[in-house]
Amino acid sequence: MANKGPAYGLSREVQSRIDKKYDPDLEERLVEWIMAQCGAGVSRPEPGKTGFQLWLKDGCVLSELINSLYAPGQKPIKKIQHSEMAFKQMEQVSQFLQASERYGVVKTDIFQTVDLWEGKDLAAVQRTLMALGSLAVTKNDGNYRGDPNWFHNAVTPSDPPSARGYSKPVRRVARTRVRVAGGSGLVHRRIVRKAQENRRDFSDDQLKEGQSVIGLQMGTNKGASQAGMTGYGRPRQIIN
């Protein structure tokens, strides 16, 4: 899958844990979205982790994806180069990552180029694409194509949000327990929604009034104080 040697010992254990975070079901959903978003110009990859990596590795599909989220004439990547040269492919992936950050994906949700190109952490690639898709649905600017439920109403295994890479600062996560047909247990339905802006508008009078309020960061005089207290220990006895 990648141009790297095998891992041993602790490195192998760490890499194994990273690989287990990759979600085949999420792969299918992301492929469907990218196909719908980019249109007929993008072919379907071979199923599986290796096929998913090779499909995105040269950065061309990713560049087509981020361009499709903009109106005509506003595409962030002006030139998409199909190349077999490694540094050209990595440069194309890097352009996608920079464009995704300008689009609004937070830096902590963005994978590193080597995560994709060397196959070190394809789960991180999935997290970036999920963040991008969720943001595109939330913007609702008419450029998103596909089913919004692919990102805002997803059934995933019952593991904690941190294990699947969901970023707390930018998402609100609600979970309900549902029974899957034909299954023997319960899974969590995780609904991923981007946090919405909640702007407050204050009048000039309210702003002036706030200037006279001493914030609790400066200390408080409303709680317990040391008034009437004596120092600790036996006081000095002055007899003579």
**Predicted pLDDT at 236:** 66
Mean pLDDT by 10 residues, the chain (240 residues): 60 70 86 89 87 90 92 88 87 92 90 87 90 89 85 51 42 40 43 66 88 71 66 64
**Predicted pLDDT at 154:** 46
Per DSSP, the residues of 150-186 read HHHSEE--S--HHHHT--GGGEEEEEEEEEPTT-SSE
Q: Which two tokens stand for residue 94?
A: 């890097």
Q: Which long-range contacts (CB under 8 A, 24 or more apart) does 80-84 make?
A: 82/58, 83/58
**Predicted pLDDT at 213:** 78
Q: Is residue 195 part of a domain?
A: no
Contact 49, 42 (CB under 8 A): no
Spatial CB neighbours of 120, under 8 Å, sequence gap ≥ 6: 2, 4, 15, 18, 112, 114
Q: Is residue 212 part of a domain?
A: no
- CA 118 – CA 116 distance, rounded (Å): 6
Contact 158, 97 (CB under 8 A): no
Q: Is residue 62 part of a domain?
A: yes
Q: Is residue 205 part of a domain?
A: no
Q: Is residue 134 part of a domain?
A: yes
Report field, pTM of the whole predicted structure over 0.75: no
Q: Is the dihedral of CA 159, 165, 168, 172 positive or negative?
A: negative
- CA 210 – CA 218 distance, rounded (Å): 14
Task: Please tell me the total count of domains within the chain.
Answer: 1
**Predicted pLDDT at 65:** 92
**Predicted pLDDT at 221:** 60
**Domain around 120:** 9-150
* CATH number of the domain encompassing residue 134: 1.10.418.10
Find where tokens 């694409």 sit.
Answer: 129
